[in-house]
Structure formats: structure tokens, C-alpha cells
Amino acid sequence: MSVVDLLYGELASLLSNVIVFVIVVLMFVISLRLFLDRRKKGYMSMTISLVIVGLQYMLKIYVSFSAIDTSLTSYTLLMLKIISFVLLNFGIYQLYNRTFRKQYIFFYGLIIMGFVVSVLHFSVPQMYSGTPQQVRLLQDIGLELYVFVLVFLCFYMIPPYVGQQMKYQLALTVYFFIQSVHLVNVYMYGNTQPILTIAGNALPIVFYLLLFMLLFDRVVELMQAIYNSSITDGLTRLYNRKFFYNRVTQHVQRHLPVYILFSDIDNFKKLNDTQGHQMGDDVLKQVAQIMKEEAEDCGIAGRYGGEEMVVMVTDPGVKMDAFAERVRSRIEKETIVTASIGYSKYKNGVSAEELIKQADEAMYKAKTSGKNKVVKYA
């Protein structure tokens, strides 16, 4: 085994195909698992396309071992390349978008057009009487150029509708260079240019690594979204009651100095009854945003239930009376409602439940003694 074989000989081509095949298998496992768990069309298209890519590279590996390189083999590899490329991009599109009939017509139309272009492959031998090598090159040129059309269509039409646009466009750019290097090497140098051969072996690995990273990042995004939905309130995007309580418990168990602020929107039921639930939801989101902004640098904010919102202040340098008054004042000035607020301070021997209850009792005292005020738990 020589350095030449490893860089641009037959062994280099075989090694490149094997590496790509392994990457594709890993992507297939991830995509199939996502499809079985979520039953989303994007993962089904991605899974099917990866099966086709796998078949394409299995055939390439077989050709490398058997040295069989017929016109039919070449045609099969080209059609597998076109079908898998279209379905891969369709799958990426579906990961971020709902698909309707026009999208199916567009993407499957691209595949059908590939078969239409492939008519040239079978008509060339009857139309042109050159050497077998010349006939072979003319047979493939239509489908090879059609791949460029697919790359440009995907590059300009899909990125605005998907996440990770830069990574996706980079992958398509790499694919463009894969096709360009292949055509230049085959049609201009007869597959004898070492630098182009090395690039032709390396770029497919880069392309499928980028796709693997794109798919993996999508998995991370989904996991993050699932986690966020499990700990936050759907309407206000504040932490939900369970998560907030658990965080308070963690601090109390470590005997850390914390304050709990407990707020309740005044006359909220009347607001819902007179101006409708949509107005009520809008007010909740406005108050929640104030809570989130004020708690951002010193603690966390949560929705405890209904119109009740809470803040755990973990910064011992915060003057709690001024903090609570600032929250109350902002609610009064920036929304159409007011809020009654109570707060309590952790002391040794007090549980998380008791600490929150103390703040709740202080809030109740503020509400029953005039509303729109701040009361400290005594």
C-alpha cells in the first residue's frame, strides 16, 4: 500500500465511499429513531433518502471491488444521486415546515424531470457513433448537468424556510464543488488529475458530515424545546410552578439567603368578564414580561397559578423592599392593571413550602388592605 493509493488511487476512492457510507448509516439511525418517536413526515423523507444514499454508496463500493463499470451502472448511480439529493433536501425542508400539495408537486416533479432528462442517456447511442468512451460521456452529461440545476434551485429556494441556514447553504456549496470537480476531472482530464481526484474523494465526506451536524443540531433543538416546554408556562413563558418550587427547595436545602416575591393581579376576574379572555391573556403576558425583566439579573420568575406570579431573588445585595416596589410601580405604569405584592425572607428552619406560603400571606394582606401595594411578611 503506497501513499499514492491512499491519496488518489483506487483505495482512496474506496475508503472515501466507506467513510461516507458509515456517516449515512449513523444519520439513518438518528432519522429513523426520530421518525418512530415523532411520526413527522420530514423524518420519513430523510430516512427514505438516506436509504437511497446508502444504496448508492453500496453500489459504488461494489463497483470498486468488482471493477464493473457499465453504462447501466453509471445510469443507476446517477439516478440514485438525483433521487437521494432531492429527497434529502425535501426532508430538510419538512423538518421546519408543514408540507402541502404544491411542495410535493415541486420536489417529486424534480425527480420526474430527472427521468425525463435521462432519456438522453438511452438515445445517445442511436444518435452518435463515436468511441465507446465518447458515447459514455455524452450519455451521462445530461443528468450530470441536471444535478447543477437541482443545487441552484435548492440553494435559492429552501434556505429562507429552514433553520441553520448558513450550515445548509455551506453544505450545498460543498455539493456544488463536488459536482464541479467531478465533471472537470472526468470531461477535461479523463479522471487523471491527482488534485481533483483527492478533492473528489474528500468533499463528499465533508458534505455528509455537514448534513450529519445539521441533523444532530436539529435533534438538540428538539430536545431543548421539549425541555423548555416541560419547565415553562405556555402563555407567559415564565417558569412553571413545579420548576419554581424545585429551585426554591434547592436553595432552602443549602441554606442560601433568598427572598420570595408573591404577586397577584388586582381585579383580574372582573377584567376577564368585562373585556374578554384575550385581554386577560395579554395583560398576563405584559406582567410576566415585567417580572422576567426585573428578575433577570438577580433570580428567576415563575407563574404560580392563574394570575399569581412569583420571583425568587437569590442576589443578597438586592434591597427587597425597593425591588418589590419597582415591580409594583412598573405594573401600574406599563399595564392597565395593578398588583398586590408580598414578600418573605428565608430563615433557618423554614421549608420551601413555608417560605412561599409566607410570601403568599403577605400578598393576601396587601390585597385585603387596599390593593396595589407591597407588604413584607412579618
Residues 23 and 142 in one domain: yes
The pLDDT assigned to 141 comes to: 86
> Is 93 within a domain?
yes
Query: Between the CA of residue 127 and those of 118, 120, 135, 139, 375, what are the distances in Å?
Result: 15, 10, 10, 11, 93
Residues 58 and 205 in one domain: yes
> Is 83 within a domain?
yes
Residues 204 and 293 in one domain: no
Extract the C-alpha cell encoding 139: 450519455
The pLDDT assigned to 128 comes to: 66
Beta-carbon contacts of residue 53 (< 8 Å; ≥ 6 apart): 24, 80, 84, 88
The pLDDT assigned to 218 comes to: 80
How far apart, in whole angstroms, are the C-alpha atoms of residue 59 and residue 351? 67
| pLDDT tens for the 378 residues of the chain, in order | 454 455 556 677 888 889 999 999 999 998 888 888 777 777 888 888 889 989 988 888 887 777 666 677 888 888 999 998 998 899 888 888 888 889 999 999 999 999 998 887 777 666 666 666 666 667 778 888 999 999 999 999 999 888 788 889 999 999 999 999 989 988 888 777 888 888 888 999 999 999 999 888 888 887 888 888 888 888 999 999 999 999 999 999 999 999 999 999 999 999 988 999 899 999 999 999 999 999 998 999 999 988 999 999 999 899 999 999 999 999 999 999 999 999 999 999 899 999 999 999 999 999 999 999 999 998
Extract the C-alpha cell encoding 212: 450529519
Extract the C-alpha cell encoding 114: 430527472
DSSP secondary-structure letter at 254? T
> Is 88 within a domain?
yes
Instruction: For residue 37, give the CATH number of its domain.
Output: 1.20.1070
The pLDDT assigned to 129 comes to: 67
The secondary element (H helix, E strand) that includes residue 366 is helix 352-368
Phi-psi group of 190: left, alpha or beta (phi > 0 → left; psi -120 to 50 → alpha; rest → beta): left
What is the longest distance spanned by two Cα atoms in the chain?
A: 101
Extract the C-alpha cell encoding 223: 430536545
Quickly list DSSP for 36-70: HHH--HHHHHHHHHHHHHHHHHHHHHHHHHH----
Coil, strand or helix at 148: helix
Extract the C-alpha cell encoding 184: 472537470
Residues 324 and 197 in one domain: no
> Is 236 within a domain?
no
Q: Which of 231, 257, 290 is the last residue of a domain?
A: 231
Coil, strand or helix at 375: strand
Instruction: For residue 305, give the CATH number of its domain.
Output: 3.30.70.270
Q: Residue 321 sits in which domain range? A: 241-376
299 DSSP β-pair partners: 313
